[in-house]
Amino acid sequence: MTAKVGEAAGKVWHTLKESGEMSTAQLKKKIGADDKTIWMALGWLAREDKLNFMQVKNTMKISLKPLPNAG
């Protein structure tokens, strides 16, 4: 199960990097994951502090946090 969630987290990250901010429904459709897997993948990425969450009316919008400068 961990491998499946990790793979989904990678797909979520790449999708957000390429397409920008999306709703959970859009992400679910884009990567072809079920509800449970998409939420676990989002939790994985949130735990790694890689996501921004914004509630817009009844929709949760997710985007990637900017990468820190390698400076």
pLDDT at residue 48, as a whole number: 96
Give the residues of the chain that fall short of pLDDT 70: 69-71
Closest CA to 44 of 10, 18, 16, 14: 10
Q: DSSP alpha helices (H): ranges in 1-71?
A: 2-19, 24-31, 35-47
Residue 32 lies in a domain: yes
Give the number of domains in the chain: 1
> Side-chain half-sphere of 46: how many Cα atoms within 13 Å?
10
Residue 15 lies in a domain: yes
Is residue 50 helix, strand or coil? Answer: coil
* CATH number where 31 lies: 1.10.10.10
